[in-house]
Chain A
């Protein structure tokens, strides 16, 4: 499952981060690395971007990028 499909309030464990170049590097730099636990907190009023919570901080990324992040063990957090 990819992160953009995860409902707000649910979260899981990252298995892979796709995409390429700058954007992918930035996602990795911000701590979205494999084995990290991440929660989807909220969707912005206009449907995009989304708010994540990981490593004790809140991060926002766009749906497009979220679609490149694979997660597993998705459950309500």
Chain B
């Protein structure tokens, strides 16, 4: 018999660590259909017939965030054989709050009581057997980090699933709330059965006025009226509204279940230690400088010291392999066009993107240290006020900062943002942060037009990117992402030493992800651009790329750029090749102008641009759609080609608009 497990739990309770323990590297990462919520699936090691799905980390089953809806829908629609609910033992009350809601879903369930090693080390005790009895749910004490109790957990989970051991208690209260839930559950039993939802769960959701459940139950006017009346009555009797009443009911039950079973002499060592660390890391004056220092260090190590060295080595390797392949092809007398396709098209295109791999792996190494140690939540705490105005929370700060290095890992890093809305918005805005691949373009233009004020021009370009991101944020907040911002109510988890396993698995996963992109979408894009660049409309290869299809497309679209100041087929062609990789803008302009030296390029460029239109060209380059690798990352994270194309159009449109405004206003002044 095949068994399907759902792994559910709060954020920061060690869920990922447990999932990695259970499945090893044997996991599949994707999105839940239609949303940008990550879905991880794996087979439990040593149990080929047991599949486990890692549900998003959530605190409650209310239907407000897509994470909560996904969890609920998965459990209700996919009918897992059992739920493995992971609970942080050092923070047991709040963790059990979700457990009580999971119980209402009426499925076999086992609690994995994690971080028991920390509880013991702090001199505290949890009487697991009694607690299990109080809750009516089997509990297995584990430590995912130390690999304790995992085998036992698997055994119990399989037993619970096979013997369909349901939670023994479903009533968490007495008195008025109890009576109301029962009255409603009894009345709507048929309706609930018809849509295959436990009556008890449906009753609670009716009291909570959960619109999606209320609608799907198909109650009659009269029944709805009775429900409303019963709820009003209950609220009147206990002097609390329904939301407070239910939360209070659950917490009161948890408190009584834990009263004699959770013996806490002091806060856990990890909590006490965290408070001390935070005295420094979220210090009133030192907090922000320390954060900036850490980010600077990461950038310096990634883009300066280690990353570029690895990148150079990989470059050497790639060009050696390319040369070897080229020689082999020449020796075997392969036709010229095939040789050019493989060497100039595929190897050059994929190779240039591939050399970014070390940067990405390294960045994710640092990012997962920040995330898993618990520091990322502090960054959000410290920086929240800055991002709030554009409708985001402090959580988006780090991905955006990474965007100054490279948009690809920045977009991939949005995965850890706790809300889908923030994730989407951050993905759209991050490419406005000028990435490092655009630096050669700035170098080229400033050398030709602004040799004396190069730093000022560079800074202004960066600032324009940031301002545009802010304005777009405000625009998006007021339109597409209007309403329902996810409240910024965030746990500050205790600092913990990241598990090397989790860090390595994440690096491996991101590397795999990137390689897959390099050999699919980037592969195709490189071939396409190569083809356009090397052939004319009669499909004959051209020696002079100014006669190519690409150049003629460039000529056709060149007039489009008149309103933003330039009308030259070489400039527009460079913008097209810039989509493969931003550095290509420089190489294309060099090739197409036939410039033999930088000085010559500068003088030719002054024939194409005026200083003002050169600046407008720069602005357009910073803001228009990111390179194909970033586009692929966007598609992956947003989950659909359509959303990715819309995003690219939005970015390109914004670029055009901003360049237009700058050029037109500039023309009036100068």
Chain A residues within CB distance 8 Å of chain B? 17, 22-31, 33-34, 36, 41-49, 51, 55-62, 65
B287: which of A23, A45, A57, A59 is its contact (CB, 8 Å)? A45
B251: which of A33, A44, A47 is its contact (CB, 8 Å)? A33
B91: which of A26, A48, A57 is its contact (CB, 8 Å)? A57
Chain B residues within CB distance 8 Å of chain A? 59-60, 62, 64, 90-94, 97, 240, 243-244, 247-248, 251, 264, 267-268, 271, 274-275, 278, 282-285, 287-288, 377, 380-382, 384-386, 388, 484, 486-494
Q: Taking CB as reference atom, which chain A residue is nearest B246?
A: A28
Are the CB atoms of A48 and B490 closer together than 8 Å?
no
CA A32 – CA B287 in complex, angstroms?
27
Contact (A49, B488) CB under 8 Å given A17-B244, A29-B59, A34-B248 = yes
Are the CB atoms of B97 and A25 closer together than 8 Å?
no
Within 8 Å CB of A22, what residues of B?
62, 64, 484, 486-487
Within 8 Å CB of B382, what residues of A?
44-46
Are the CB atoms of B384 and A49 closer together than 8 Å?
yes
Listed by A's residue number, 28 A-B pairs whose Cβ atoms lie within 8 Å are: A22-B487, A25-B60, A25-B247, A26-B59, A26-B64, A27-B489, A29-B62, A31-B94, A33-B248, A42-B282, A44-B385, A45-B283, A46-B384, A46-B385, A47-B385, A49-B488, A51-B381, A56-B93, A56-B264, A56-B267, A56-B271, A57-B271, A60-B381, A60-B488, A61-B488, A61-B489, A62-B388, A65-B487
Question: Smallest distance from the beta carbon of A35 to chain B beta carbons, Å?
Answer: 8
By Cβ-Cβ distance, the 5 closest A-B pairs, closest first, are: A28-B247, A29-B60, A58-B492, A46-B385, A23-B487
Within 8 Å CB of B274, what residues of A?
58
Question: Smallest distance from the beta carbon of A37 to chain B beta carbons, Å?
Answer: 12
B90: which of A28, A51, A56, A60 is its contact (CB, 8 Å)? A56
Are the CB atoms of A59 and B488 closer together than 8 Å?
no
Interface of A (DSSP majority class): mixed
Question: Smallest distance from the beta carbon of A51 to chain B beta carbons, Å?
Answer: 6
CA A29 – CA B100 in complex, angstroms?
12
Are the CB atoms of A30 and B243 closer together than 8 Å?
no
Contact (A34, B244) CB under 8 Å given A55-B94, A58-B492 = yes
Question: Smallest distance from the beta carbon of B100 to chain A beta carbons, Å?
Answer: 11
Within 8 Å CB of A17, what residues of B?
244
Within 8 Å CB of B97, what residues of A?
29, 31
CA A15 – CA B131 in complex, angstroms?
28
Within 8 Å CB of A60, what residues of B?
377, 380-381, 384, 488-492
Within 8 Å CB of B490, what residues of A?
59-61
Question: Smallest distance from the beta carbon of A58 to chain B beta carbons, Å?
Answer: 4
A45: which of B244, B248, B288 is its contact (CB, 8 Å)? B288
Question: Smallest distance from the beta carbon of B655 to chain A beta carbons, Å?
Answer: 31
Within 8 Å CB of B60, what residues of A?
25-26, 29
Instruction: Count chain B CB atoms within 10 A of each CB in A46, A48, A51 and give the residue with the most.
Output: A46
Within 8 Å CB of B251, what residues of A?
31, 33, 36
Are the CB atoms of B282 and A25 closer together than 8 Å?
no
CA A26 – CA B243 in complex, angstroms?
10
Are the CB atoms of A45 and B91 closer together than 8 Å?
no
CA A31 – CA B489 in complex, angstroms?
11
Within 8 Å CB of B268, what residues of A?
56
B492: which of A43, A47, A55, A59 is its contact (CB, 8 Å)? A59
Contact (A51, B93) CB under 8 Å given A29-B59, A34-B244 = no
Question: Smallest distance from the beta carbon of B663 to chain A beta carbons, Å?
Answer: 36
A30: which of B59, B240, B386 is its contact (CB, 8 Å)? B59
